Structures are given as C-alpha cells and as structure tokens.
Structure 1
Amino acid sequence: MRALLRWIALVLLAFAGLQLFFVARIAAMAVLAPESTSFQRSEAWAQLRQDGGLRWRQQWLPYAQISDNLKRAVVTSEDDNFVNHDGVDWDAIERAWERNAKAEAQAQAASRPAARAPRIRGGSTITQQLAKNLLLSGERNYVRKGQEFVLTLLLEQLLSKRRILEIYLNSVEWGTGIFGAEAAAQHYFKKSARQLTAPEAARLAVMLPAPKRFEKTPNSAYLAGRTRTIVARMGNAELP
C-alpha cells in the first residue's frame, strides 16, 4: 500500500510540475515571441526524415502590422465568437456534433464507405488550436484532450485575446514548411501580410483546416466558393 501511495504521489507531483512548466512558458509569451511550436518541430523532424532537408519559411510580424483583412478573415472562418468566449465555444462544439451526426447519417443512407464520408470540421476555437499546436504532441487521446483544455484556460487567463491571435497568426501552418501570416502572404501573393486585400486574406483563412491539401489544389471550386463566403461575412467580425 505504501508503494502504491508513493507511486500516486510521484505521478501527481510530476503532473503538477508539468502544469507549472506550462504556466511559466505561457506567461513568458506575454512579452516573448515563441521561437517555435511543438507542431512546427514535429513537422521539421518529419521533413528531415522524409526529404533529408528542411524547407522552412517564417517571419514574425507584430499584431498592428498584420492586415486587419487577415485578422477578420481568420476570425470569421475559424472562430467567429473569438472575442467573447473563454477559450471554449460550447455552442460551436454542439453544432459540430450535430453536423457530424447528420453527415454520418447521410453517408450511411447513400451507402458510402466511411472513407468517402464528408469531412466535417469540429468546434475548436483559435485558442484551442493554439494550445494544441504550441505545446502538445500530435497524439489523440483523452489525456491529451484534457491537457489541451487546461492549456486553453491558461492561455485565456495569462494572455490577452490580442496576444493569442497575434501568436496564432504568426505560427499557424499555411503549407509545407510555411508558417505564419508573413510567410504565407509572401509565398502565395508575393507581398507582405501588411498589404493583403480582403479576397487574398479570405483565401488564406479558408486554407487553414487543410493547408497542405489546398496548397496542392489552389484552383479548387471549394476554395473559391468558400473564399467568396468569407469575404461577404468579414465585415461583421469582431477583433480584439
């Protein structure tokens, strides 16, 4: 029994130490830009193993210098309640569950195999996406999801909404080895993220759920149609 209690105490101590480490890392991000994220390091390692070389483009751009068009487009496309929720948008999660269930039922009714069922996006907020990419591995299990929830709350408590969006826009993936708004704007439009027009910004925002796929299919009908939808809705986006 003593050995079991000692083991439990060590596990709890390790968990507490990990949370303190995360608190310190996130608190430092209030003034220091993260050099890289866990997701970026994982992608870099994958490139090195597969290609033997590293393709990497990233340049930090302060929040005030990023086009408001891109901020509005990303908020509209990824998290239209960003400025109001506490990190988790429960209504969006509920809507995502309903869409998933409906899509699955339609796929089954049409006798389509699971692999061909439509891919429905979840209800993750910008803060949740940042928590996942910034500090966690790519594993998918309940423990990792619980840690993501804790990190989401820590980000919301320790950083401003403006800072969360700034870090997100400077670190999110926009293609193979392309990270952040400035690198994406230079790669796709040969201009700075300061100068993005509304259609250009909307196009980048629409790419975010699957940037590598859309990088290979830049002329897809879905990308063009969704871009027009985001442009039409951008004017209603609230920015921090």
Structure 2
Amino acid sequence: MAIKRTHTKTGSQNIKHLFLRWALRIVGGFFAVTICWVLLLKIINPPVTWLMLQRAYERKAEGKEWKIEKDWLAYDAISTNLKKAAIAGEDAHFLTHWGFDTEAIQIALEKNEAGKNLRGGSTISQQVAKNVFLWPGRSWIRKGFETYFTVLIELCWSKKRILEVYLNVIEMGLGVYGAEAASQYYFYKSGSSLSKKQAALIISILPNPRKWDARNPSAYVNRRANNIVRYLDHYKVPE
C-alpha cells in the first residue's frame, strides 16, 4: 500500500510540474510576443486597427458601404497646430507623465461617482494602447491589458512616436481615421496645413466623432474648440 501511495503522490507532482511548466511557457510567450509587437510598431506603421474593422463591418451590417478612410501622415508633416491641440484638448500633461495622469484619473473618479456625468481619464498613451493593440469595449480584463500596453509603449517608444501614431489611427469621424483623412474630410485640405481653429475643431469632436461634426460644430464643440485655441500656444510638442 505504501508503494501505491508513493506512486500516486509522484504522479500528482508530475502533473503539477507539467502544469507549471506550460503555464510559464504561456506567460513567457505572451511577454515575448507582446514586447516584439510593440517594438515592431515602433518602426512600422500599424496598417489597420480592430476598431476600424469593427466599424466597417457594422456599416456593412446596416446596409451601408464599407468605409475606412485613412492616409498616414509622418510626424513632421502633421500640423503643429494639430499636435498642440491634441495635447491641449486630450492630455495636458502628455510630455511629463509616464503614461497615466493621476490627477486626471482622480478627477474622473470624482466625476463618475453616482454613475452620472461620466468622464474618462485616459491619456494619449492609453488611447494608443487600446486603439492599436486591443479590441473596443469596456471590461476589467481589457483595462488590465490597456495598462500593460501603456507601460510598454511608454518604455519602448518616444513621446514623438506615441503622438504620431495617435494622430494617425484615432477615430475622427464616420469611417474617418487620422489627421490626414479628417482634414480632407472636414476642410478639404492636408493635415499639414490646418489653422488653429480647424485643428481645435477636429480635436473637440473626439469624445464622440460619430455624432459631432467639425464642419458643423454644436455650441458645445465650438466652445471647446475656442478654449483649446485660447491656450494652444501654452503647449509644446515632442521634438
């Protein structure tokens, strides 16, 4: 009987060791793949995002045409007005934080109490993480991955690269993504030659780009754009 108990104990230990070995392989593989992915997109422009595809399929399901309008614009070609407007309107501490704006998060938590007046505290880095590497939606799992990828891109990319990717992949209208496509769509000009007000209007619609229109701004959007223009020159951009 003692021999049988020894065999049983040994078999159980083998299963645990096998499970642990595979768990370590899976975790190690995850880190290896995601780090390589982030490093790759440091030099290669992401061709498409999950959100772009989802929005396009949603349009098809509604009987509308497939639409993904985007045209990559290199960082140095993007209007400085738009870069400043993005920082002024979306992430005032972009140049100094490490991916997370604790002050904005605290304000968002206070605003979100009681389930009303919902506001987000996402930085530009967090928005790049969720737009480029993740799927749309809200869940604690996705938020955890968003945090992980935010840390990775802050460690591996420059602020210049983060802002460049942000201004080229963010949803800026119905089937419209990025600075160049949005500039052509709203103002019939290149994203390299936007005026301060035009840049501010584009950034002002980002909380709801499928509802708001930079050409026909609501009173709220126009006030927000004017406020961005007022403080635009107080901000610097990554060099």
TM bucket (normalised to shorter chain) is: 0.7 to 0.9
- Match for 2:44 among 32, 36, 40? 32
Larger CA Rg, structure 1 vs 2 = 2
After superposition, give the CA deviation of every residue in 1:159-182 in whole Å (9 maximum; x if it has no partner).
Answer: 100001001101100111100000
**Structure 1 residues not aligned, in runs of 5+:** 105-113
Deviation at 1:11, TM superposition (A): 4.4
Deviation at 1:206, TM superposition (A): 0.7
Root mean square deviation, CA, Å: 2.0
| Structure possessing the higher relative contact order (Cα contacts under 8 Å, 6 or more residues apart) | 1
Deviation at 1:40, TM superposition (A): 1.6
**Structure 2 residues not aligned, in runs of 5+:** 1-11
- Structure 2 matches for 1:35-74, cutoff 5 A? 35-51=47-63, 53-74=65-86
Q: In structure 1, give the amino acid aligned to 2:223.
A: G
Q: 2 CA distance for matches of 1:219 and 1:187? A: 14
Q: 1 CA distance for matches of 2:123 and 2:150? A: 9
TM-score normalised by L of structure 2: 0.87
Deviates more, 1:39-48 or 1:9-18: 9-18
Q: Percent identity?
A: 35
Aligned length in residues? 226
Matched with 2:7 is: none
Q: 1 CA distance for matches of 2:82 and 2:215? A: 21
Helix, strand or coil at the partner of 1:174:
strand
Matched with 2:3 is: none
- Structure 2 matches for 1:39-118, cutoff 5 A? 39-51=51-63, 53-101=65-113, 104=114, 117-118=116-117
Matched with 1:110 is: none
User: Taking structure 1 as reference, are residues 212 and 52 closer, same or farther at Cα in structure 2, changes over 3 Å only?
Assistant: closer
Helix, strand or coil at the partner of 1:214:
coil
Q: 2 CA distance for matches of 1:38 and 1:69? A: 28
Q: 2 CA distance for matches of 1:32 and 1:8? A: 35
- Match for 1:132 among 125, 130, 133? 130
